[in-house]
Amino acid sequence: MNTTHEHPVVILTGSSSGIGLAVAKKLYRSNYRVIATAREQSLHRLREQGLPDTPTFLHMPLDVTNEVQREQVVRRAMQEFGRIDVLINNAGIAYRAVFEHMSRKDDYHQAHVNYFGPMDLARSVLPVMREQRSGRIINVSSVGGMMSMPTMSAYSASKFALEGATEALWYEMKPWNVKVSLVQPGFVRSDSFEHVYVTDKVRSDAMGEQVYEPYYRNMSRFISRMMRWSPSSAADVADVVLRTMKASRPPLRVAATLDARFFSLLRRFLPRSVYHEFLYIMLPRIWEWQPQAQELPAELNLR
């Protein structure tokens, strides 16, 4: 790692489960000083996983949407260690709903956790890293940040935003020797597909059981299968995060799973129109999604 300090200081968000927990375990066994954060009600999982609160591995509550808690984490890092070498923005959530079933409130919640919160935290550590003339910011994105899927419009919107802002930050921080990267996992073997947000409209709107029923049914089954059968585990992605953190010249975007690399190559080499049509016909049981043809009134038949 390109730092003159013997024991780099790392702030990690979303450390109580999934990829974040896997990263926390690897950091705990390595030569780092760490502030491992999670929402207050989830911090107990770190202790349960054999990661006690110690002078060099601190537990702190952090909801990334909470400005006061963000400031407390940065202040504690400086008080305890006097520097911040790495920020790993891992915390995130996912809504599972078609666009029509999302509300403005749902959209904002999704964006607040996946985009505004992480970038606000990055903004808080930048003055420290610029003064040090060194640092790393690693934003954990997703395949959903390079492509979108049905029932995941808001999730992809938040990750697209994270990717765009991170790309700009890569240019802005390069003169200061602050290295910025996006780690893009695809499907990861876990049960996290069961822990998604469902909107009020999905629960209450009869249309969710009629017009869009094939979307929800087939996409849920597809995502469940892909995550259960994925060859990549959270620990595999954590290895990618740590390699990126230690690399002397880390790339801006790092595909963390085989499917992420596949979709990246697909986007790069297929013409855009062919790419989208190909993905459309590959959607699970797409023939069930299409409504029965109906006769339009003459004044609306524009063909």
Marked catalytic residue, from 32, 95, 115, 155: 155
Interacting residues of 102 by C-beta distance below 8 A, sequence separation 6+:
95, 153, 154, 199, 201
Does residue 141 carry a catalytic annotation? Answer: yes
Does residue 28 carry a catalytic annotation? Answer: no
Marked catalytic residue, from 28, 153, 159, 190: 159
Marked catalytic residue, from 134, 141, 142, 230: 141
Does residue 16 carry a catalytic annotation? Answer: yes
Does residue 275 carry a catalytic annotation? Answer: no
Which active-site residues does the annotation give?
A: 16, 141, 155, 159
